[in-house]
Amino acid sequence: MRPCSCDTFVALPPSSEGQRVVFGKNSDRPRDEVQEVVYFPARDYDAGAKVECTYIEIEQAARTFAVVLSRPAWLWGAEMGANEHQVCIGNEAVWGRESADGDEALLGMDLVRLGLERADTAEKAVDVITALLEKYGQGGSCMEDECNFTYHNSFLISDRKEAWLLETSGKYWAAERVEEGYRNISNQYGITTKIDKEHPGMRGYAQSKGWWDGKTQFNFAEVYSLLTTARIEASGSRYCEGKKLLEKSTGHITAETMMDILRDKESGINMEGAFMTTGSMVSVIPKDPALPGVHYFTGTPDPKRSVFKPFIFVSYIKQCKQTCSPSYGLDDPVKKKPRFQNKPNRKHPLFLKHECVAAILETARERGKKIAQKMEQLEKDKMAEMETFLSEGVEDLTLVVNLFSNSVEEEMSVYGKS
Residue type, 185: I
Could you tell me if residue 36 is inside a domain?
yes
What is the distance of C-alpha 31 from the center of its chain? 17
Confidence of residue 2 (pLDDT cuts 50, 70, 90): very low
Average pLDDT over residues 149-161: 94
Could you tell me if residue 264 is inside a domain?
yes
CA-CA distance, 221 to 103, in Å (whole number)? 25
Range name among 266-270, 303-307, 343-347 with the lowest pLDDT average: 343-347
CATH number, domain with residue 72: 3.60.60.10
Confidence of residue 338 (pLDDT cuts 50, 70, 90): low
Average pLDDT over residues 13-32: 96
Does the pLDDT of residue 234 top 60, yes or no? no
Could you tell me if residue 267 is inside a domain?
yes
Does the pLDDT of residue 294 top 70, yes or no? yes
Could you tell me if residue 353 is inside a domain?
yes
What percent of the chain has pLDDT above 70? 93
Residue type, 283: S
9 compared with 343, residue with greater pLDDT: 9
CA-CA distance, 162 to 11, in Å (whole number)? 9
What percent of the chain has pLDDT above 90? 80
Beta pairing, strands 63-64 & 43-44:
antiparallel
The predicted pLDDT at position 235 comes to 43
Could you tell me if residue 343 is inside a domain?
yes
The predicted pLDDT at position 385 comes to 97
CA-CA distance, 334 to 348, in Å (whole number)? 18
What residues are labeled active site? Answer: 6
Say how many domains are in the chain: 1
The predicted pLDDT at position 332 comes to 80
Could you tell me if residue 1 is inside a domain?
no
**Per-residue pLDDT tens for 74-102?**
999 999 999 999 999 999 999 899 888 77
Does the pLDDT of residue 62 top 80, yes or no? yes
The predicted pLDDT at position 335 comes to 67
Could you tell me if residue 361 is inside a domain?
yes
Range name among 65-79, 163-177, 354-368 with the lowest pLDDT average: 354-368
Cβ neighbors of 105 (< 8 A, separation 6 or more) are: 55, 56, 136, 137, 138, 139, 140
Does the pLDDT of residue 1 top 50, yes or no? no
What range defines the domain where residue 157 resides? Answer: 7-415
CA angle 366, 373, 394 (to 5 degrees): 160
Could you tell me if residue 394 is inside a domain?
yes
**Per-residue pLDDT tens for 189-233?**
999 999 999 999 999 999 999 999 999 999 999 999 976 555 555
Average pLDDT over residues 158-177: 97
Q: What average pLDDT does the structure give for the chain?
A: 92
Does the pLDDT of residue 30 top 80, yes or no? yes
Q: Helices 349-361 and 403-415 sit at what angle, rounded to 10 degrees?
A: 40
